[in-house]
Chains A and B, each alone.
Chain A
Amino acid sequence: MSARRDWSPQQDTPPPAPPRSLLIRNARVLDPASGFDGIAHLGIRDGRIAELSQAEPRGEYEQTLDARNLWLLPGLVDLAARLREPGHTHKARFASEIPAAQAGGITSLVLPPDTQPVIDSPANLLRVLRLAGQTGGLKLRVLGALTQGLNGEALAELSALKAAGAIGFAQGLKPLRDLLVARRALEYARGLSLPVHVFAQDAALAAGGCAHEGPVATRLGLPPIPVAAEVAAIRAWISLVEDTGAPVHFCRLSTARGVELVQSAQRRQLPVTADVAAHQLWLCDRDIDGFNALCHVIPPLRSAEDRQALRQAVASGVIGAICSDHQPHEADAKINPFPLTEAGISGLETLLPLTLGLVQEGQLTPLAAAARLSLGPARIAGIEAGSLTPGAPADLCLLDPAPSWVLRPEHLLSAGRNTPFAGWTLQGRVRRTLLDGYPVYANAD
């Protein structure tokens, strides 16, 4: 794999050639792959990590960067972000969202298949990658649709999707017709050695709902989504994993009981993983009070107790990845009575600071935070990322953990300004994002 890429073919003049070698000195290096957390020097050569050492580096480097007081960790791997192209370009485009991801320290990102058209054929998958390649600067991975048009009944051509580059299969937020389809899909995907990413929500139990079933939704009169919608679905999928041995990744856990089920399955050595959206670790159902449509998300914000269980599961590793669940919207999508608004939060640029906030609160060690944002999701996605081992791609995030700053939606690079964190004081700033050794984002302020 070449370190040089055609980063931005639309530009008239090519960007200046990156240095073939770079030494980052004196950073606090967080490497979840080796468990190393300490001051060290990291050398990059030809887009890959050449050495990582606490002693003076041996090699010669064209450039040196002093990273005193900064943290250096693998570039973030985001397991779920909708960049809205193709099909929903009134919400966002690759050209707006890729810079937002880079500013968030993200170097690899997994796209769900629910674009328009749905990514249910190699042609559609390749088209998405081609569109994204026009902006470049981010390693995009794609989940293929499990069923044709996400109709939940007939399998898509999963083998052909894999050949085109799909790293796994998913239904987006759409249900499967029944457990028989789910069972067949799992078996078939297992034959391809690819995981199925499952948004576990029983469609009937959740039908029409837009808020966590509990006192807040009851007082506001919002149609509820019970905890059992998630729990019953997870239980059913785990039964199928027990039958088939096929790996399942549970997306966007929201409940304490869901966490318990995943944990017990993992203890029984079942091939089950899980992620959580960063906003679920900070918000709860009380935040929708006053009909705050910016907090309208699916799965819904649950109780404070659920939130605490999710935080503990992230700390223990039962939940192996924190993702942005990025869903940028145009302003109109949120200008309606709560139940009629579109669900979702613009999350690329808050993924890292919200996770660093957990470090600041003592819920996560810096190394564990780095793991949940890079190596954990990379392993779930089955991609080469999340490691600072020599020889690994030099996908890196260099951040200053010290500064606190107030989030202003108008300052987001994402086209989606739909964030409930406006006015929040957040922790940590990305200083540099490197992709295959190439600086794709730099911020000195």
Chain B
Amino acid sequence: MKSNLQLDARGRLRHLLSLDGLSSDLIIDILDTAEQHDKLLAGPEKKLGTLSGRTVINLFFEPSTRTRTTFELAAKRLSADVLNLQVAASSTSKGETLFDTLKTLEAMQADMFVIRHESSGAAHFFAEHAAPGVAILNAGDGRHAHPTQGLLDLFTIRRYKSLPGEATRDCFSRLSVAIVGDVLHSRVARSGIHGLRILGCQDIRVVAPPTLVPVGIKEMGVSVHHDLEAGLDGVDVVMLLRLQKERMLGAFLPSLGEFHRDYGLTRARLAKLKPEAIVMHPGPINRGVEIEGDVAYGPRSLILQQVSHGIAIRMAVMSLILGRDNGERR
């Protein structure tokens, strides 16, 4: 595994491609840094000079609004210059390869690329071919990884589930977490599983119909459940996944209605959870499919908190990768 691709010789973050291969110390460092940024964001002055003079290019080959926006906001709050490029798949099929695109944009003296692409491995590909000193931040590659989403989920869980004075690893090692929905196609699920496992979570459950559970997922350190009631029994955290509505086409599901009846998080099912259990979702939600609208905005839901934590996490990652040199110079 080329996980060392994302670390420099001293074990510091050079790119962020996947949580797989990162140490718990490094992840906790990111979460702690994000805490500082989050405190700052709560105040009136939201801007830092950490990345002043640096250029961040958001290079999105898949349409995205919310993820791109939070990356953009994070970079701007660190005073970076930000460029958003929404590249349609068609323009790369006109002859310019991904390699050409990377090299062309590198020539514009970019310091960091935030990349989203429909192919698993795209971020690794860019990191392998990026010039020295150019950082790659994976904003989602195929079904493989969405590491900043994984980090913001960990951040959210830690904030709402840790006891006063409790160490991060102690917190995660006593939690039970259920990941519910389309695990097969989900990079969010994979990054979440890696992150939870690295922080010591002992009870990670995947809950979905068998058609949406990838073969061999147990080797990632999870248990598999096809019954929602059993899968949610006694959990502290419910992480719902977005179900793409075209999944009926590949015979993954008979209907959205049947999925909702068997796997949707309804008020009735919420009532059976532990009273202190929390509900998360990476968004955008499908009301009436994986979650009932009332639940999404109910008191147990942290969906909106996840969004704002996303900005702090992305600031933390960017400043740890790019801001280090600035800091050392000061």
A residues sitting closer than 8 Å to B (CB atoms) are 213-224, 226, 289-291, 332, 335-340
What distance in Å separates the Cβ of B308 from its nearest Cβ neighbour in chain A?
27
Q: Return the contact of B190 from the options A221, A226, A339 (Cβ within 8 A).
A: A221
Contact flag A290-B216 (CB < 8 Å), given A220-B144, A221-B144 = no
Query: Which of B118-126, B165-173, B260-268 contacts the other chain?
Result: B118-126
For B304, list chain A residues within 8 Å (CB).
none
CB-based nearest A residue for B190: A221
Q: Is the CB of A337 within 8 A of B122?
A: yes
B142: CB under 8 A from chain A? Answer: yes
Q: Is the CB of A336 within 8 A of B215?
A: no
How far is A100 from B119 in the complex, measured between Cα atoms in Å?
A: 34
Q: Is the CB of B215 within 8 A of A339?
A: no
Contact flag A338-B1 (CB < 8 Å), given A221-B141, A221-B142, A224-B215 = no
How far is A337 from B5 in the complex, measured between Cα atoms in Å?
A: 15
B220: CB under 8 A from chain A? Answer: yes
How far is A120 from B145 in the complex, measured between Cα atoms in Å?
A: 44
Q: Is the CB of A291 within 8 A of B121?
A: yes
B252: CB under 8 A from chain A? Answer: no
For B187, list chain A residues within 8 Å (CB).
221
Q: Return the contact of A335 from the options B99, B120, B121, B142 (Cβ within 8 A).
A: B99
What distance in Å separates the Cβ of B295 from its nearest Cβ neighbour in chain A?
28
* A to B CB contacts below 8 Å, 30 in the list: A214-B216, A215-B215, A215-B220, A217-B214, A217-B216, A218-B214, A218-B216, A219-B216, A221-B142, A221-B144, A221-B145, A222-B120, A223-B143, A290-B3, A290-B124, A291-B2, A332-B97, A332-B99, A335-B97, A336-B98, A336-B99, A337-B98, A337-B122, A337-B124, A337-B125, A338-B121, A339-B120, A339-B121, A339-B142, A340-B98
Q: Return the contact of B220 from the options A213, A217, A219, A289 (Cβ within 8 A).
A: A219
For B119, list chain A residues within 8 Å (CB).
336-340
How far is A216 from B219 in the complex, measured between Cα atoms in Å?
A: 9
CB-based nearest A residue for B17: A291
CB-based nearest B residue for A290: B2
For B143, list chain A residues within 8 Å (CB).
221-223
* A-B contact number at CB 8 A: 86
Q: Is the CB of A291 within 8 A of B124?
A: yes
CB-based nearest A residue for B213: A218
B117: CB under 8 A from chain A? Answer: yes
CB-based nearest A residue for B219: A215
Q: Which has the most chain A C-beta neighbours within 10 Å: B99, B142, B190?
A: B142
> What is the 8 Å Cβ interface bit string for chain B, positions 258-297, against chain A (1 contact, 0 not)?
0000000000000000000000000000000000000000
For B215, list chain A residues within 8 Å (CB).
213-215, 218, 224, 226
Q: A218-B219, A222-B142, A289-B1 are in contact. List 8 more A-B contacts (CB 8 A).
A: A216-B216, A217-B214, A219-B216, A221-B190, A223-B120, A337-B120, A337-B142, A338-B125
For A335, list chain B residues within 8 Å (CB).
97, 99, 129
What distance in Å separates the Cβ of A205 from its nearest Cβ neighbour in chain B?
12
How far is A335 from B187 in the complex, measured between Cα atoms in Å?
A: 23
> What is the 8 Å Cβ interface bit string for chain B, positions 144-159, against chain A (1 contact, 0 not)?
1100000000000000
Contact flag A220-B121 (CB < 8 Å), given A290-B2, A336-B98 = yes
CB-based nearest B residue for A289: B1
How far is A175 from B138 in the complex, measured between Cα atoms in Å?
A: 36
How far is A214 from B117 in the complex, measured between Cα atoms in Å?
A: 23
Q: Is the CB of B120 within 8 A of A290?
A: no
How far is A152 from B234 in the complex, measured between Cα atoms in Å?
A: 54
Q: Return the contact of B117 from the options A215, A219, A337 (Cβ within 8 A).
A: A337
Contact flag A336-B125 (CB < 8 Å), given A219-B190, A220-B144 = yes
Q: Is the CB of A218 within 8 A of B121?
A: no
How far is A335 from B98 in the complex, measured between Cα atoms in Å?
A: 9
What distance in Å separates the Cβ of B131 from its nearest Cβ neighbour in chain A?
15
CB-based nearest A residue for B117: A337
Q: Return the contact of B216 from the options A215, A223, A291, A332 (Cβ within 8 A).
A: A215
B32: CB under 8 A from chain A? Answer: no
CB-based nearest A residue for B218: A215
How far is A215 from B98 in the complex, measured between Cα atoms in Å?
A: 28
What distance in Å separates the Cβ of A209 from its nearest Cβ neighbour in chain B?
12
Q: Which 5 A-B pairs have the closest CB atoms?
A: A221-B143, A221-B144, A215-B216, A290-B2, A291-B121
Q: Is the CB of B141 within 8 A of A337?
A: yes
